Amino acid sequence: MASRCFLVLAAMLLWLLPICDAVAQDAPDTGHLELTFSERHPDSAVDRLLVRFQYRGDPNEAIDPRAHADEYDLDEQTFQVYVPEAYDGSEPYGLLVWVSATDEGVIPWPDVFDNRRLIVVSADGVGDRQNVWKRFGLQLDAVHNMTARYHIDPMRVYISGCSKGGRIASQLGLVFADVFDGAMPMDGCDWYQQLTVPGSGGRAYRARFNRPTARLLRHAQRRNRYVLMTGELDENRDQTEFFFERGYQRAGFEHVWYLEEPGATHCRHTPEFVERGLALLDQPLEDGTLGPEDDDEDTRPRRTPREPPAAPTAAQLLNLARNYLDAGLTEQAREKLEALLDTYPDSDEAGEAQQLLDGI
């Protein structure tokens, strides 16, 4: 009898092993990862980038002397990725594309990204000595592949970087305002107009890229968030503050902030300072879509207009409420929590939503 029970138990264990193995395989990898991708973003090729940047001359004669027109092989590129340990795919996380100023895609401040529920990706081989079209293209490839591989909140796709990585982030954050919901350039920022510094004897900051199309610029002004960050002792501090006041603010951007860290030198910021910037960047808007009414009358190829956004899920509402609370916007957080409890009273998120609501 005992041997018969043993045989039955062994058979059950053998039956369960494939199931356990499948569950283990489905669990997403977390922590620091190195990934490769094979599919390019539709606009990351040089000819498409030239269209977006409205550059009609020889791409090898662009403002940046490293702006060669050679294509790159995505199969030969690696990407450094940081996935917070708490991520299990059940709720959407934000995505931050970090533009490295060196050829190593080092991801700083992982604890900050844990707190903000952000997955971070940084391409290798995009340092300051690389050509600018490759630096642009790989950031778009990162978004294209990471949003396909992970459960990403489509309203929380951001780009950031420091020094010349910040300059790349500031350009892509405007020219691809329909890809990135916000940008957080640090200690380096570019603008699309030449601006003369008052009282400087004619000294001016020249434009580093062309003005985005009217459609994209309106979207950036109304829907996206921009946080310009610098240090008190950084060599780019004056330019960053100037672009904030004479660039973004004068151009009518509705969601733009300037943050300066006391005593900080070039790209030497504390995690607390970075988290302050992310809290502002994370201030949620109701949607991030471009409606047909935003199209201008140009003749460049267009994408099919996006479908109207679906009603937010319980996880998205909870995420929005958390972000509002982090930014100190309690009334907006209350509204999202009440909407979650009214719409999804039996959801897994309802218990936490009630706790947060009770604490307001």
Per-residue pLDDT tens over the stretch 70-102: 678 999 999 999 999 999 999 999 999 999 999
The DSSP string of 178-247 is TT-SEEEEES----SS-EEPTTSSS-EEPPSSPPPPHHHHHHHHHT-EEEEEEETT-TTHHHHHHIIIII
- Output the pTM of the full model: 0.73
320: its two tokens: 């929005």
Quick one: average pLDDT of 289-300? 37
Say how far apart CA 149 and CA 143 lie, in whole Å: 10
Share of the chain above pLDDT 70, in %: 79
Residues 357 and 360: their CA atoms lie apart, in Å, by 5
Which range, 165-169, 283-287, 293-297, 303-307, has the best average confidence (pLDDT)?
A: 165-169
Domains and CATH numbers, the chain: 27-289 (3.40.50.1820), 314-359 (no CATH)
Which of 225 and 323 is assigned the larger pLDDT? 225
Q: What is the mean pLDDT of the chain?
A: 84
**pLDDT value for 294:** 41
**Residue 332 pLDDT more than 80?**
no
For residues 45-73, give the mean pLDDT: 72
Report residue 50's pLDDT band, with 50, 70 and 90 as the boundaries: confident
pLDDT tens digits for range 228-261: 999 999 999 999 999 999 999 999 999 999 999 9
Structure tokens at 189: 């920022």
Smallest CA-to-CA distance from 172 within 271, 99, 247 is with 99
Q: Count CA within 13 A, CB hemisphere, residue 252.
A: 6
What pLDDT does 69 receive? 59
pLDDT band at residue 319 under the 50/70/90 scheme: confident
- Tell me: pLDDT of 12 over 60: no
**Once rounded to an integer, what is the mean pLDDT over residues 307-332?**
69
User: Tens digit of pLDDT for each residue in 194-231?
Assistant: 999 988 888 899 999 999 999 999 999 999 999 999 99
Please state the rounded mean pLDDT for residues 146-158: 96
| Rounded distance between C-alpha atoms, residue 128 and residue 173, angstroms | 18
347 φ, ψ to 5°? -80, 165
Residues 300-326 as b/e (b if ≥16 CB within 10 A, e otherwise) read: eeeeeeeeeeeebbbbbbbbbbbbbbb
For range 339-344, the mean pLDDT: 89
Mean pLDDT throughout 298-324? 56
Between 270 and 66, name the one with better pLDDT: 270
Q: What's the pLDDT band for 6 if we cut at 50, 70, 90?
A: very low
Give CA separation, 120 vs 32, 107, 111, 140, 189, in Å.
Answer: 10, 7, 12, 14, 21
